[in-house]
Amino acid sequence: MSKPFDLVVHGATGFTGRLVVEYLLQRYPAGSGLRWAMGGRSADKLAAVRDEVGAPADTPLVVTDSAAPASLAALMAQTRLVLTTVGPYQLYGNELVAACAASGVDYVDLCGEPAWMRAMIDAHEAQARACGARIVFSCGFDSIPFDLGVLVLQNEMKARHGHPASRVRGRVRKMKGTFSGGTAASLKATMAAAATKPGVLDLLRNPFALTPGFEGPRQPSGAKPMLDEALGLWVAPFVMAAINTRNVHRSNFLLGHAWGADLVYDEMLITGAGEKGEAFAHAVAADKSLGAEGGPKPGEGPSRAEREAGHYDVLFLGEDTAGHQVRVGVTGDRDPGYGSTSKMIAEAAICLLESATPGGIWTPASALGTALVARLQEHAGLRFTVEA
């Protein structure tokens, strides 16, 4: 039986959810063929946001409360896919993932919480496969530009040399914008879980936390400033590496180790050359402001002008054992945490709806691959460029 909606934005009254709604209004208005609805716990708040963003008065509103089983069951009956921006997911995502896996409903989120993701994989992957639910975590700045950047690089390396790069470096060259309040809240929730739940800290330390049954070679820690000999530049720890590196290894795992079982991958932030670059690298390493008080809270974020002034530029440098190199650049035209993320998750959701990916718990690269690369370049302001 056909469902009334292709997609429900769960969390449409939150800051990022509202940005997703604004993007859908622009790209997929009524008559575009995509049947989507705004979802949230309060009908009054949904109506207010609908009016504030200039959505048509007949934009569908769906009251969704992930803590209420009856509400979740009603949501599952109404939509093919749930796009959720409601984090931290370890606090607000358990029941929703379980319902989707059991109902064969697709799911995308913005999760950057590897210990929770592993718990969901262990608990629900078999049922998701059996029911046909495609569950794709990390469809924002963490981890789409990095996951797909490695995919593009490895495709180029195999096209040129017949095999993947065994060593890949992800290096953030430029970034302007703030991380989301949800990212900060997720970090705090993860640290709280690590302090109270046995095994969480071990998962957080393990670069192969998302590859059950597989442990690859020793990986660089990326925890300290260093002079990157491959670039001749100083680099500093990159805060999103903890989730991105694990998603890259899971993509490789789900693709049957198409990038090699010996893949070594790390991510760091380029701070520059010489003494100035070294000093900046140490300053970045000492900065603990993301998890501190006073940062953006969930539901808060930068102005439209600030989002549109943001951008990012990431270099991926791949090398094989013979010394062949490939360089790929990935850029985005909005601030990473909000403006670009809201476009990425929307396009990932639509790409998933149009894909033949089987049920299971996936990464963006393993589920959607080059089809998502093409969509993001066409619609979402990202560029994937083979530089050398």
Q: What is the model's pLDDT at position 204?
A: 73
Q: What is the pLDDT along the chain (388 residues), one digit of tens a residue?
A: 699 999 999 999 999 999 999 999 999 988 899 999 999 999 999 999 999 999 999 999 999 888 889 999 999 999 999 999 998 999 999 999 999 999 999 999 999 999 999 999 999 999 999 999 999 999 999 999 999 999 999 999 999 999 999 999 999 999 998 766 666 676 666 667 666 777 766 777 899 999 999 999 999 999 999 999 999 999 999 989 999 999 999 999 999 999 999 999 999 999 999 999 999 999 999 987 765 555 566 667 788 888 888 999 999 999 999 999 999 999 999 999 899 999 999 999 999 999 999 999 999 999 999 999 999 999 999 999 999 9
Task: Determine if the peptide bond prior to 358 is cis (ω within 30°).
Answer: no
Q: How far apart (Å, rounded) are the C-alpha atoms in residues 79 and 74?
A: 9
Q: Is the peptide bond before 355 cis (omega within 30 degrees of 0)?
A: no
Residue 95's pLDDT is 96
- Whether 177 and 339 have beta carbons less than 8 Å apart is answered as yes
How many other CB atoms are there within 10 angstroms of residue 230's CB atom? 12
The tally of CA atoms less than 13 A away on the side-chain side of residue 38 is: 33
pLDDT (0 to 100) of residue 212: 96
Following CA atoms 363, 369, 371, 373 in sequence, which dihedral angle do they give, to the nearest 10 degrees?
Answer: 90
Q: Are 386 and 156 in contact (CB under 8 A)?
A: yes
> Strand 106-108's sheet: what is its strand order?
61-63, 36-40, 5-10, 79-84, 106-108, 134-136, 360-362
The pLDDT, as a whole number, for residue 184 is 67
CB count within 10 Å of CB 299 equals 16
pLDDT of residue 66: 84
How far from 130 is each of 2, 107, 127, 253, 354, CA to CA, in Å?
A: 20, 15, 5, 20, 20
